[in-house]
Structure 1
């Protein structure tokens, strides 16, 4: 069974790396010189961002492969192709598990006593419509900072209202900072080299990167938008046809993942059944409703059990009714 799981993981990594190689190398150097219509391949490639992130996510939790060293190596290689340093992505995601829906991480929530909807929206919508991914990509510039610069960055961003200071503090640790710099250099080399290979068609590559940014940023908080605060273990399971659930590697079963972060993607459906868990919204509905914008701290939905499918259980668990 263990060998079969490792074989499956390696096969998926090979498919992901082949797709990235097609986008970054084969298209510009082999296919586009023959016929520019090959550029249409970039559209379906952009959609593979979702399973690509799911594989990186498995690596972040150390469950892509049982061998931790190879787990991290493959996670780093995939993250370079994705365009974000693995060290930063890992630190950020693990902080998300710890602080989700707390004061430090409640993306869409603003306090009317301290801000207005319009002021909150100025930061919210750019982040939602691609900004989150581009911040991950642009983080490679931080590799230029000396260690003292990182210490100053941690001090300036430390706040009880954000995980940013904690994120920078984790990345700035000696071994992590060394790895972050290597990953950042690899990303710069990869995407600079690919842009040169595309030549006059480089806009095609960066249009595909823009599509990736939109997909990643829209999907990131869809599992938590408008849900109750102070419930780090809570998330929403979002409905997808079973074929699409397999395509996204069961990332839509997000409540199951938050409650069982050590389970591999192909184990989540069984846990969903065993826990008598339920689906809370459709995936596309959950993504679209974020366009409503920032939610005031006083809103009933984030303080009471008004999210579809949730009941007032003291444990914060989702309803088990059919």
Structure 2
């Protein structure tokens, strides 16, 4: 099968692949693996992804451990390397995202082990990152809209504090906080999740999945490693703690600021409607592993990052604004729920779009790991 044919088949095969996600996350029943579903693996740039994982792993280890150990003696070179390491935090997160969708490597064990290692360096358990992100695909703009608030229940000031904290740092720190949440007794853990996520279906599914011994055990193991690494970093930086705080703040800003930018102010969704997410133009989009094609990713979540530009060209994709300028729109502040655009029920003429939406939601829980 040619590369273009593989790209075209990625949407279809996402719903055909056997499920690896917890039952609580699944959006559609798993199907039998087919030749088409297996062929999509040819699109995964496995060797390149492993090289990138090594690069990102070393970069994150540098600013956490190697910089304070004086690996580079020349101060200007050491500081320059530190800045680059912090900047690489964002593409490192994007590669973890590939692992969440089982697109980092075709082999299940390799995909998971590399993803878990990168997640420990990122400061959060991979099991939690995967669970929350797959549920984001299912509940995007149905329950999951970070910038929106209900004026009848929340004041603008309270919503603004929450919004600006979330987009400037909080999105990342909530991922780090998961390292502590997974150690709480189940009752208290469920209450914390309910306070953070809400009492809708998304929060309930997170609670349910984290009650599973296998998922919780993996999350606790990775959380312990993440916390130990963070504690070691603070000890190594004990004479210059402000440097580590600045580096972690830079990572938190990059991950948080660009993570929700694609969804800010988009329409409220219906379960059967197309996924609302924007695509932001960035010339050297390889710098972020083409993550700026985010709306396209929500429609074709089985498509590896290197295949997104080809799919964009095939569909004649028109970007919704620049990468940085669009992210800056978040600084306009929180938006009342009633002011969000409303999704109209999809008409028969939109059958193709609806099909893509269903495939997108289904694939959030049926990513293949063989």
Tell me the TM-score range normalised by the shorter chain: 0.7 to 0.9
Which SS does the other structure have where 2:230 is aligned?
helix
Aligned Cα root-mean-square deviation (Å) = 2.7
Deviations 1:115-146 (A, max 9, x none): 33223213211112101111111221124323
Deviations 1:6-60 (A, max 9, x none): 2111111111112122222321112477648723432222111121011000000
| Equivalent of residue 287 in structure 2, options 215, 231, 247 | 247
Preserved CA contact (<8 Å) 1:223 1:237: yes
Deviations 1:267-312 (A, max 9, x none): 111111222322111111111111111112222x52379xxxxxxx
Distance 1:149 1:297, change over 3 A: closer
Preserved CA contact (<8 Å) 1:91 1:171: no
Q: Does 1:203 align with 2:242?
A: yes
| Equivalent of residue 25 in structure 1, options 56, 61, 65 | 65
* Cross-structure match for 2:4: none
5+ long unaligned stretches in structure 1: 306-312, 318-322
Deviation at 1:68, TM superposition (A): 0.9
Which SS does the other structure have where 2:276 is aligned?
coil
Deviations 1:161-187 (A, max 9, x none): 573343233223211100010011000
Q: Does 1:264 align with 2:304?
A: yes
Deviations 1:225-284 (A, max 9, x none): 11111156121010001x2x0010000000110000011000111111222322111111
Deviations 1:197-235 (A, max 9, x none): 223023212210111111111111100111111156121
How many residue pairs align between the two structures?
307
In 1, distance between residues paired with 2:180 and 2:258? 25
* Cross-structure match for 2:368: none
In 2, distance between residues paired with 1:260 and 1:126? 30
Q: TM-score, normalised by structure 2?
A: 0.76
Deviations 1:88-118 (A, max 9, x none): 111110011000111x111111223333322
* Cross-structure match for 1:293: 333
Q: Does 1:81 align with 2:121?
A: yes
Preserved CA contact (<8 Å) 1:105 1:161: no
* Cross-structure match for 1:167: 206
Preserved CA contact (<8 Å) 2:44 2:106: no
Which SS does the other structure have where 1:29 is aligned?
coil
5+ long unaligned stretches in structure 2: 1-40, 354-370
Which SS does the other structure have where 1:239 is aligned?
coil
Preserved CA contact (<8 Å) 2:87 2:251: yes
Q: Does 1:62 align with 2:93?
A: no
Distance 1:81 1:271, change over 3 A: same
| Equivalent of residue 237 in structure 1, options 269, 273, 279 | 279
* Cross-structure match for 2:153: 114
- Answer with 227-236 or 148-157: which moved more: 148-157
Preserved CA contact (<8 Å) 2:44 2:103: no
- Answer with 148-157 or 179-188: which moved more: 148-157
Which SS does the other structure have where 1:28 is aligned?
coil
Distance 1:161 1:292, change over 3 A: farther
* Cross-structure match for 1:309: none
Preserved CA contact (<8 Å) 1:97 1:232: no
How do residues 104-143 of structure 1 correspond to structure 2 at under 5 angstroms? Answer: 104-143=143-182
Which SS does the other structure have where 1:163 is aligned?
helix
- Answer with 79-88 or 229-238: which moved more: 229-238
Deviation at 1:314, TM superposition (A): 4.6
In 1, distance between residues paired with 2:319 and 2:351? 18
Which SS does the other structure have where 1:199 is aligned?
coil
* Cross-structure match for 1:302: 341
Q: Does 1:280 align with 2:320?
A: yes
Q: Does 1:16 align with 2:61?
A: no
